Every structure is written in C-alpha cells, then in structure tokens.
Amino acid sequence: VQLQASGGGLVQAGGSLVLSCATSGVTFGTYSMAWFRQAPGKEREFVAAMRRSGGGTYYADSVKGRFTMSRDNAKNTVSLQMNSLKPVDTAIYYCAASRTLILSNTRNPSGYNYWGQGTQVTVSS
C-alpha cells in the first residue's frame, strides 16, 4: 500500500490550496481515508476523514467550514480543499488509510495503518 500526498506550498492568509493523495495497492473503496497534520513541536492532529462506503465525513472543529474532503473512487484519490487558510494551519499534512477503522478511532492516528510521506503547507500572515 502506498500513499502519495501532494499539493502543499506557500500561501498567504486567506488563500486556498488543494491537497491530493494518490493511493496504490489498495482496493480503494474499502478503505477509510483521512488527513492529519503536524506542526513543529506539536503532536499529529486530526483534520478530516471519510469513512469507507459512504460511512460519513468528519472534520476537526478548527477546520470545519473552511476545509472540504472528497474522494474519487475511480481515480483512487482523496483531496482536501483548504479555503480561508490561516497561519495556524501551517503544518506538514499527511494522508492516511485504514481498511479496519472503527468509528471511535476516526480521529485518532492510531486508527490508521498506512501513511503518506506528508506535504508541507505554509500560510504566511
């Protein structure tokens, strides 16, 4: 299983970015997918998740209304549309996958078996 995140970059506050995560080696529709982020000196933080087979989409309170996660099962990819970016959104963003995710672990990094390499998002003030 391989996950490849892309789309990060430098953007001014209020701007937008779209992150993508391409997967291989999975039967994509059977996997729950998520985005996490980690800022320097901080723990990895939940951003958004989509459970498999229409099981629902979840967002951290800090990004709700600004970020939108989507998945394309035909292309085996997930995306994260990030609008109204703030300097506090600066972090390395990771995509993650799990075929066995239980509901109570949706927001927990330990619930995911596979991780991409991360893509840096920097928001300047």
Tokens standing for 22?
């391409």
What are the DSSP calls for 66-116, one per residue?
TEEEEEETTTTEEEEEE-S--GGG-EEEEEEEESS--GGGTT-GGG-SEE-
How many C-beta atoms lie closer than 10 Å to residue 119's C-beta? Answer: 22
The yes-or-no verdict on residue 52 having pLDDT over 90 is no
Average confidence (pLDDT) over 75-80: 94
Average confidence (pLDDT) over 22-28: 87
Average confidence (pLDDT) over 37-61: 93
Region of residue 110 (left: phi > 0; alpha: psi -120 to 50; beta: else) = alpha
